[in-house]
Structure 1
Amino acid sequence: MTLSVSSPEPLRQLADLVSRSKRGVIFTGAGVGTASGISTFRDMDGLWARFPPEDFANWAGLLRTATLQPARFAEFLISVLEPIATAQPNPAHLAITELQSIAKMTVITQNIDGLQQDASAIDVYELHGTLFEIVQTPSGEVIRHVTRSEVAEVVDGLRQSQKQLWSFPSVMRALKPIFEVSSEGVTHPNVVLFGDQLREPDWSLAIESTESCDLFIAVGTSQTVRPASDLISIARESGAEVVYIDPECGGRGLWIRDHAECVLPELLQLMTNHGNSEEE
């Protein structure tokens, strides 16, 4: 069943599902962040259209590009880091947090931007890691955390290094707060690239939550990034109701073809009004 949010019926159906749910999951993808100014990777005008994944979506490709094409490497980093450095939670993030206050909902995200936590959500599992933790390889130990303002300073440093034609040394100096190669190893943001294992214990906890949920809401996800997208099949096989909120990507079950920042606040308002009516 595919419905537009312009009709109240799909929202009423979803509100009823949330009200009856004993244990729900909200599974978020890049589409949740677009209203905060963060580009998706896989849309026609997304980052992968400008920066081929074979060169920018894995550590080997990134290091090769950094060495051979430092200017291109810097352009990619600015494209990724700058929107995140200035982003703030949008109505979708805020609505998800509010939904957690009226229903038992775990959040599983593929995003690395930390916006759902900034919106004060709890029980957030980050399958692809986070830009704001810095780890050391090969140990994987988290050695420090960075803030959005520190990420913004890295972007400023990269722009300043353009004056030196983005030479490899100047780019690496600009990246030092979040990326550095030394005799002790490599320090870098704790993000999952192609070929990496999903973050633990988040992935195991996400599977556990999905297997035990009765409602699984996929929001703003292309459903093409595996193994994260396997959670949808796991939810269905476990007997959960599966709902999709996305203008382009849906599936079997209730599919509301609209943007997360439009649907979720309306859903929250509907549920709040319904709750107030019952109290009266």
Structure 2
Amino acid sequence: MAPPKIVILTGAGISRESGLHTFRDADGIWARHRIEDVATPEAFARDPALVQGFYNARRAQLRDPSLRPNAAHEALAELEARWPADFLLVTQNVDDLHDRAGSKRLVHMHGELAKARCLHCAAVSHAPGDLTAETPCPACGRAGGMRPHVVWFGEMPLEMERIGAALEGCDLFVSIGTSGAVYPAAGFVREVRHRADTLELNLEPSEGSHLFDEARHGPATQLVPAFVREMLAKWG
């Protein structure tokens, strides 16, 4: 019997134990900021300085020397490295903790905070520091068009064709640390549930927890390494 083809979806809950705030908790980022003010194309057109300031603060968190991938990020990187079949890790997170942990077969469907995209030439550049209206594009040299390379509300997530193909061919879908409230990611389990095994690993039941074949609840740093050990013991 061949090992299953795997698609894993991760959300903010997997990075919370590394010290990053989630967006939807009672003390989360959206409790302190209106989406309409900082996370839409219209907000950027209306007040680019406010939006840049919001994301500059988020980006500063990534530069904190104490911020590191946790055991859940590291376990998923190990699973990918040792998995003998198709594997795709899809993250809704704009942080780079999966990358730092060593994940390669990885899609950042909501973009990457440490990158910027030029509105003039569409080039995507590495941008770990602050962005301002004066920041020039490394590709075309023009200033005034560098925006955070993140998917705002009302915009289409990235690499949806690649994600869709992986979902269509997968045998196992695992959702980790997600609220089940943000589409299209929240709909992935519905796409695969009748043709693939489905598993939720979350701190508490998500909004779509009832759609999964199995749900395990607790800290990601405990659940994810345990899941990876199970999979590698059977198939690795």
Same fold (TM over 0.5): yes
Q: CA offsets, 1:187-239, max 9 Å, x none?
A: 1222110011111xx211011001100100000011111122222211214x1
Q: 1:218 aligns with which of 143, 158, 175?
A: 175
Q: Which runs of 5+ in 1 are unaligned?
A: 1-18, 155-170
- Runs ≥4 residues deviating over 6 A: none
The match for 1:118 is: 100
Q: Give the secondary-structure state (helix, strand or coil) at the position aligned to 2:145.
A: strand
**Amino acid paired to 1:187:** M
* TM-score, length of structure 1 as denominator length: 0.71
Q: 2:155 aligns with which of 180, 196, 215?
A: 196
**1:98 corresponds to 2:58:** no
Report the number of matched residues. Answer: 226
Relative to structure 1, the CA distance from residue 124 to residue 93 in structure 2 (aligned partners, 3 Å threshold; closer, same or farther) is same
CA distance in 1, matches of 2:55, 2:115: 17
Q: CA offsets, 1:228-257, max 9 Å, x none?
A: 2222211214x1111101122123321111
Q: Which runs of 5+ in 2 are unaligned?
A: none
The match for 1:89 is: 69
**Does the Cα contact within 8 Å between 1:110 and 1:127 map onto a contact in 2?**
yes
Relative to structure 1, the CA distance from residue 111 to residue 177 in structure 2 (aligned partners, 3 Å threshold; closer, same or farther) is farther
**Does the Cα contact within 8 Å between 2:136 and 2:143 map onto a contact in 1?**
no
**Does the Cα contact within 8 Å between 2:52 and 2:147 map onto a contact in 1?**
no
**Amino acid paired to 1:241:** D
CA distance in 1, matches of 2:62, 2:197: 32
**1:145 corresponds to 2:104:** no
Relative to structure 1, the CA distance from residue 60 to residue 218 in structure 2 (aligned partners, 3 Å threshold; closer, same or farther) is same
**Amino acid paired to 1:90:** N
**Does the Cα contact within 8 Å between 1:244 and 1:251 map onto a contact in 2?**
no
**Amino acid paired to 2:82:** I
**Does the Cα contact within 8 Å between 1:37 and 1:83 map onto a contact in 2?**
no
Q: Give the secondary-structure state (helix, strand or coil) at the position aligned to 1:77.
A: helix
Bigger Rg, which one: 1
Relative to structure 1, the CA distance from residue 132 to residue 172 in structure 2 (aligned partners, 3 Å threshold; closer, same or farther) is closer
Q: 2:37 aligns with which of 27, 52, 55?
A: 55
Relative to structure 1, the CA distance from residue 138 to residue 261 in structure 2 (aligned partners, 3 Å threshold; closer, same or farther) is same
Cα drift, residue 101 of structure 1: 2.9
CA distance in 2, matches of 1:208, 1:188: 29
Q: Give the secondary-structure state (helix, strand or coil) at the position aligned to 1:36.
A: coil
Cα drift, residue 138 of structure 1: 4.4
**Amino acid paired to 1:41:** F
Q: Give the secondary-structure state (helix, strand or coil) at the position aligned to 2:26.
A: coil
Relative to structure 1, the CA distance from residue 20 to residue 91 in structure 2 (aligned partners, 3 Å threshold; closer, same or farther) is farther
Which has a greater percent of helix? 1
CA distance in 2, matches of 1:214, 1:54: 38
Relative to structure 1, the CA distance from residue 120 to residue 183 in structure 2 (aligned partners, 3 Å threshold; closer, same or farther) is closer
The match for 2:197 is: 241
After TM superposition, the structure 1 stretch with the greater mean CA deviation from structure 2, 58-67 or 254-263, is 58-67
**Does the Cα contact within 8 Å between 1:217 and 1:245 map onto a contact in 2?**
yes
* Identical-pair percentage: 28
The match for 1:257 is: 217
CA distance in 2, matches of 1:24, 1:270: 14
The match for 2:22 is: 40
CA distance in 1, matches of 2:226, 2:180: 24
Cα drift, residue 185 of structure 1: 5.6
The match for 1:164 is: none
